Amino acid sequence: MKFDAPATNNAIDQLKVVGKPTPRIDGPLKTTGLAPYAYERHDVAPNAAYGYIVAAGIAKGRIASMELSAAKAAPGVLAVINARNAGKIGKGKFNTAKLLGGPVIEHYHQALALVVAETFEQARAAAALVKIEYSVSPGQFDLAAVKDSAPMPEKSSGSAPDKTQGDFASAFAQAPVQLDVSFTTPDQTHAMMEPHASTAAWEGRKLTVWTANQMIDWGVSDMAKTLGIPKADVRLVSPFVGGGFGGKLWLRADALLAALGARVVGRPVKVALQRSLIANNTVHRPATIQRIRLGASRDGKLSAISHLSWSGNLPGGSTEPAVDQTRLLYAAPHRETRVRLAVLDLPEGNAQRAPGEASGLMALEVAMDELAERLDMDPIELRVRNDTQVDPENPKREFSQRQLIECMRTGAKQFGWEKRNARPAQVRDGRWMVGMGMAAAFRGNLVMNSAARVRLNKGGSLTIETDMTDIGTGSYTIIAQTAAEMMGLTLDKVFVRLGDSNYPVSAGSGGQWGANSSTAGVYAACMRLREDIAKKLGFDVANMDFADGMVRSGARAVPLAEVAGSEGMSAEDKIEFGDLTKKYVQSTFGAHFVEVGVDAATAEIRVRRMLAVCAAGRILNPMAARSQVIGGMTMGVGAALMEELAVDKKHGFFVNHDLAGYEVPVHADIPHQDVIFLDEADPLSSPMKAKGVGELGMCGIAAAIANAVYNATGVRVRDYPITLDKLLDRLPPVA
């Protein structure tokens, strides 16, 4: 099915099942421990051996020697796989050749060997016996030190690296009010509950990998290219993923080494990355240095806006696209946005939840707060005056929907923004200095072609099959809701099967495109099934109604169980998106409001209240969507106040590479969170008229917290995270 025109009224618009708050149908499996995660698949891979990764102890150089004899002779050891005996490893789309290093070492904790043994404990003990001597090469590990010589990248993970419009330099110089500020955001790691883990087994030439992966088809393609085997000989299975946040978008070392190990020992092999390897071995959100310049008239209209961002990566890597939201969020006739990429010998930087906007809004929305203060203007009013309903860089391209102003005004009323004292460091609650802050939220709406197979079973139930994944986001439930709505069934009559490359290729989970795209694929498949049913019954497809397990046309009503018969019926189709994104800007918007307390003596920061107001198309399941938003808000608390991978700039690695040293928010850090969804259905996004919220909740929230801390204390911190040491000596004297 081709979607290249505004969606009209369809079966989804009945909203009998879709749009209703619905508990996740996979919840009982997870709460009872019955959900089959990759490392736990003992049923499908009996007699599995265990692999343990030996990782590089340097950041850059070569292996001078690797002594394996002691490890091979250790009890239970079946094999030690390394670059010498692994066979040829190809370069997949996402540079999977780097997943097993040697003799060249490109980053700290790069996998150099896999010890395979009868038990996990034996593999771990033998791995400690592998002795490696290194030849160390000098590396570059400090972004600030090479910032000024960093070139424009050949490729960017966002839009074009550099864009200009008008004459920024002249407009900024002539602006009556100017702001020129710089920010830093640190490297951050994915702290998902389930580590990267896989179980691999070969049957002849065919490989099956049960793995934790967000994008099944990407993983199949990369595994096939890496091993040099046909794609048809690779099967990936990932029905449940214990969190991903972008870190499991691609094939990683656990899956590849499990496959290599299983091939060598001739039996299934399990590999789970040690928690301490995840920060340095897998991808992370790269650090940024950002400079923002704003020129405005005294009435708050922006005349000039510039956003420059520097980030680093391994050779061949891409940038953190921290300027992308600045290209679309506010109007200004004179503009420039640029990204620069420094070559660093740190582990690979890549997508982490809301890549680009999460980092970029941490700077842009604080800068807007600072400009509002210089103008003696309410921060919301400043944003209202610079709102736009067209792409500022291409005025012929309108936003499909843009309710940013409504988000801010709704949030201000709900949060009690009128009680905010614009003068900082004026409000006390006992020992606490209290402040409010807000920020706009923006995230682009992406769509991906997506397919599904639907089966009308004997008895009238329905089965959905698609390789879409559920990473804790509620995919099972919204897909079931979509099918139930389309076919007139209750949820207990719909069975959903996900995360298997034997199923039709879906969008996968990432970029907040999954919910809208995958359900649109299910919609397409159900439409095909409805057409087949019409042909079978001789009905006019345009005048059929599906409800209560029946299909009706005119005076005739037939139970779906009767339609299915003893053999059942099946249909398969996919949604293919046309060029609407070229004609319209499809984006999601929101506004975050935060109240914090800062201890006047110790500088301890406590978030007291949080509110997010979102405009993100039709909300398919408000219960799951709320969970996604408050999860993003929680991650924003971490980004604002505590999360930072500490770089050893001499030896080139992230020092705090475990959950003891890398701090993330816990329950005690998070107050009650409110979420409001504006009533919105975007007919230009898909037949579902939905968008996504999985990443919008993290966009802007860190800036809202930073603005609240400033309002509470009068201390502006532009280097994240905002830790006690950056406040303590600058707080007003304790009365």
Instruction: Tell me the per-residue pLDDT of 612-657, one tens digit each, with 9 for 90 and over.
Output: 999 999 999 999 999 999 999 999 999 999 999 999 999 999 999 9
Q: How many CB atoms lie within 10 A of CB 478?
A: 31
Beta strands across the sheet bearing 49-55: 77-82, 111-117, 49-55, 269-272, 197-203, 206-211, 234-237
At 414, the amino acid letter reads Q
Cross-strand pairs, 390: 398
* 592: DSSP letter: E
pTM equals: 0.98
Residues of the chain with pLDDT under 70: 735
H/E segment holding residue 684: none
- The predicted pLDDT at position 159 comes to 74
The answer to whether 324 and 360 have CB atoms below 8 angstroms apart is yes
Domain ranges of the chain: 2-33+447-579, 379-445+586-730
Q: What is the DSSP string of 314-352?
A: STT-----TTGGGGTSS--SEEEEEEEEEE--SSPB---
The answer to whether 437 and 706 have CB atoms below 8 angstroms apart is yes
- The predicted pLDDT at position 485 comes to 98
Active-site residue 643, yes or no? Answer: no
CA distances from 308 to 321, 337, 353, 506, 652 (A): 10, 6, 21, 35, 25
Tell me phi and psi for residue 515, to 5 degrees: -65, -50
Cross-strand pairs, 257: none
Q: How far, in Å, CA of 320 to CA of 106, rounded?
A: 20
- The predicted pLDDT at position 526 comes to 98
* Residue 219 backbone class (left: φ over 0; alpha: ψ -120 to 50; beta: rest): alpha
**Strand ranges, E, within 528-579:** 545-547, 550-553, 556-559, 569-577
Contacts of 469 (CB under 8 A, 6+ apart): 213, 214, 215, 216, 238, 241, 475, 498, 499, 508, 509, 514
- The predicted pLDDT at position 43 comes to 85
Per-residue pLDDT tens over the stretch 197-220? 999 999 999 999 999 999 999 999
- The predicted pLDDT at position 44 comes to 87
Of 543, 333, 324, whose CA–CA distance to 444 is shortest?
324
Per-residue pLDDT tens over the stretch 409-422? 999 999 999 999 99
- The predicted pLDDT at position 735 comes to 67
Of 519, 504, 520, whose CA–CA distance to 220 is shortest?
504
Q: What is the CATH number of domain 379-445+586-730?
A: 3.30.365.10
Could you identify the residue written with the tokens 């800036």? 703
Could you identify the residue written with the tokens 């920060």? 279
- The predicted pLDDT at position 151 comes to 93
Tell the burial category of 154 from Cβ atoms under 10 Å away from its Cβ (0-12, 13-18, 19+). exposed
Contacts of 528 (CB under 8 A, 6+ apart): 1, 454, 571, 572, 573
H/E segment holding residue 681: none
The answer to whether 705 and 594 have CB atoms below 8 angstroms apart is yes
Which listed CATH number (2.40.160.20, 3.40.640.10, 3.30.365.10, 3.40.50.300) goes with 2-33+447-579? 3.30.365.10
Q: How far, in Å, CA of 392 to CA of 129, rounded?
A: 60
Please determine whether the domains at 2-33+447-579 and 379-445+586-730 fall in the same fold group of CATH. yes
Contacts of 140 (CB under 8 A, 6+ apart): 146, 342, 343, 344, 345
Contacts of 176 (CB under 8 A, 6+ apart): 296, 297, 298
Question: Rg of the Cα trace of the chain?
Answer: 27
* 437: DSSP letter: E
Scanning 8-75, the segments in alpha helix (DSSP H) are 27-31, 69-72
The answer to whether 713 and 731 have CB atoms below 8 angstroms apart is yes
Contacts of 668 (CB under 8 A, 6+ apart): none
